[in-house]
Amino acid sequence: MMQTPPIPELSELALFLDIDGTLVEHAAHPDGVRVAPDLPDILQELNRALDGAMAFVTGRNLAMVERLFGATGFAAAGTFGIELLLGDEFESGQAAAAEVAPVFSELEASFLHRDGVYFEHKGPVLAIHTRAAPEALPAVIRACRNALSRLPCGYRLVEGHAGVELLPEKALKSAAIAWFMSRPPFRGRKPVFLGDDTSDEAGFEWVNRNNGISVRVGRQKPSSACFGLATVGDVHDWLRRLTQAI
């Protein structure tokens, strides 16, 4: 069992947070997740204490993040880092969406009559959720592997425990964390990243290489993370402990 992460000195900390499975419990449909009533206040308090060196790093697009948490003003990397927001600085790689749309639409049509399989189109990224139909996951993976040859060079398939994503190489949480760490107020701080799924592993690896703290949330499985928290509730408790160190 992984050790619980330490409580770092806040003045040295840059905090990066995945959302689904880390800050909120997974739901069968992405729109079904619920934010705990006290979580926004905890995050606001931490963001102030960190002088803004806190960011969401998520597969959700930024519009979905705002629907969940409101217009917080937090830094955020959406769609696995394709969208990057820090103060007035915004970068987006959504322009490539039209090139891959026909393949994505064909894939969705092939599962049109499969109950519980949900397709989430996020510009150049396609997420396919099978949490409500776990028996469909192997067929979804096979179909996505076949579709890779029809996508632009550099596309990759990330296979999770309750779904998959098709996304371009630059859509990496590690790249998003590096982007933030090259800019104030993140620059020069110790990176800490909390995530729960396969797509978070690149972020864990980057944080480990840069003397940070990597935290895997959820059931125990092979991971590059050095620390672990068992549940979303444990994440909230750990964040509360951070606020007590202010």
DSSP letter string over 196-214? -SGGGHHHHHHHHHTT-EE
Catalytic residue among 18, 20, 197, 200: 18
Q: Which CATH superfamily is domain 10-92+171-244 in?
A: HAD superfamily/HAD-like (3.40.50.1000)
Q: State how far the Cα of 117 lies from the Cα of 108, in Å rounded to an integer.
A: 9
Q: Select from 124, 134, 206, 194 the least CA-distant residue to 166.
A: 124
Instruction: Return the pLDDT at 207.
Output: 98
CATH 1.10.3720.10 fits 94-168, yes or no: no
In the chain, where the domains are located: 10-92+171-244, 94-168
Residue 197 appears among annotated catalytic residues:
no
What pTM did the predictor assign? 0.87
Strand partners, 127: 120, 165
Topology match between the domains 10-92+171-244 and 94-168: no
Instruction: Return the pLDDT at 122.
Output: 85
Compute the half-sphere exposure of residue 66: CA atoms within 13 Å on the CB side of its CA. 7
Supply angle C-alpha 59, 212, 174, rounded to 5.
30
- State the 10-residue block means of pLDDT for the chain, 246 residues long: 87 96 90 94 97 96 94 95 93 74 95 92 91 95 96 90 89 95 97 95 97 92 92 97 89
φ and ψ at residue 62, rounded to 5 degrees: -65, -30
Q: What is the b/e burial string over 110-128, where b = at least 16 CB atoms within 10 angstroms of the residue's CB?
A: ebeeeeebbbbebbbbbbb
Cβ atoms of 57 and 22 closer than 8 Å = no
